[in-house]
Amino acid sequence: MRFQGLSAISDVSIEVQRHEVVGLIGPNGAGKTTLVNVLTGFQRPTEGTVELGDHRFDGHAPSEFRRKGVARTFQAGRLFRDLSVFENVEVAGLGVGLSRKESEAEARRLLKWVGLDDRAQLQAGALAYTDERRLSIARAMVGSPTYVLLDEPAAGMSDAESEDLSHLILDIPASYDCGVLLIEHNMDVVMKVSHRIHVLSNGATIAEGTPAEIREHQAVLDAYLGGHA
C-alpha cells in the first residue's frame, strides 16, 4: 500500500484461519492499521491481493467485506455517541441485513457477552473509554462474522480490564468459530491470546512465529529497542 511517495506496507503476506488468534505487532507507524484497512476494504491496495477463502476480494467496498463476514474495530471509537449502547449494536445488525427483531436479539446476546447488558440503555457517548472498546467488539461480532480484526482493543485498559478482554478475545474463535487478527501494543495480552504472532516494522514482515519464538527473536527485540514501543 503506497501513499504518494510513501510505501506504508510492502512485502507482507499474512493469513488467518477461523480457529485462531493471530497477533499483529510492531512499533508505531509500522503499518499495522494500514494492513487492517487493506484487509477490510477501507483501502484498496496499490499492489497485491486480498483473498477470502478461494475468492479474490481486494477492490470490494468495506460493506461488502462486512456482509461476507469480515468485521473490524477501529483504533478510535467510531460509535454513534448519541444513540444508546443497545441501539449501537442494533444498528450494526440492520447494517449487515438482519431484521429489526434479529438485530435486537443480537444486541441482547452480544451485550451480555461483553458484559455491558447493565448499561444497554446508556447513551454510548457516556460510556467509559474502556467500555467503548467492548461495545466496539460487540458491534463487530453482530451477525457472527467469520473473521474479525481488532485494532488495539486493550489501549488504556488496566491490568484487570486487559485480563477480562483476553478472555473475551479467546472466546471468539472458541465459541464463534471466528478467526481474529489482533493488533495490540499490550504485550501481556498479545502473548497470552495469540496462537501465532506476525511482526511488522517499517511496513515489512520481520518475524512470524509462536509467542515463545517471538519473545526471543533478535530482529523483534532490535525493532522495539531501536523504535519506540
- Where on the chain is the footprint of Mg ion (CB under 5 A)? 32-33
> What is the largest distance, in Å, between two alpha-carbon atoms of the chain?
53
Q: 96 vs 150, which CB is nearer to Mg ion? A: 150
CA distance 69 to 184: 22
In the complex, minimum distance from the CB of residue 192 to ligand ATP, in angstroms, rounded to a whole number: 19
CA–CA distance, 201 with 223 (Å, rounded to integer): 7
Residue closest to Mg ion, measured at CB: 33
CA distances from residue 30 to 22, 134, 148, 191, 199 in whole angstroms, order as listed: 17, 25, 20, 19, 9
| Residue 14, C-beta contacts closer than 8 angstroms, at least 6 positions apart | 22, 24, 35, 39, 181, 198, 205
Q: In terms of CB distance, is 32 or 134 closer to ligand ATP?
A: 32
* Chain residues in the site for ligand ATP (CB under 6 A): 3, 6, 8, 26, 28-34, 75
* Contact predicate 85/121, CB 8 Å: yes
Minimum separation from the CB atom of position 10 to ligand ATP (A) = 11
Residue 34 binding: pick among ligand ATP, Mg ion, none (C-beta 5-8 Å cut-off by kind): ligand ATP
| Partner touching 29 among Mg ion, ligand ATP, none, CB below 5 to 8 Å by kind | ligand ATP
* 14 versus 120: smaller Cβ distance to Mg ion: 14
As given in the structure block, the three cell numbers for residue 63 are 460493506
CB of 45 to ligand ATP, least distance (A): 13
Please, what is the minimum distance in Å from the beta carbon of residue 5 to ligand ATP? 9
The answer to whether residues 135 and 165 touch, using CB atoms and an 8 Å cutoff, is no
Chosen from ligand ATP, Mg ion, none, partner binding at 175 (C-beta under 5 to 8 Å by type): none
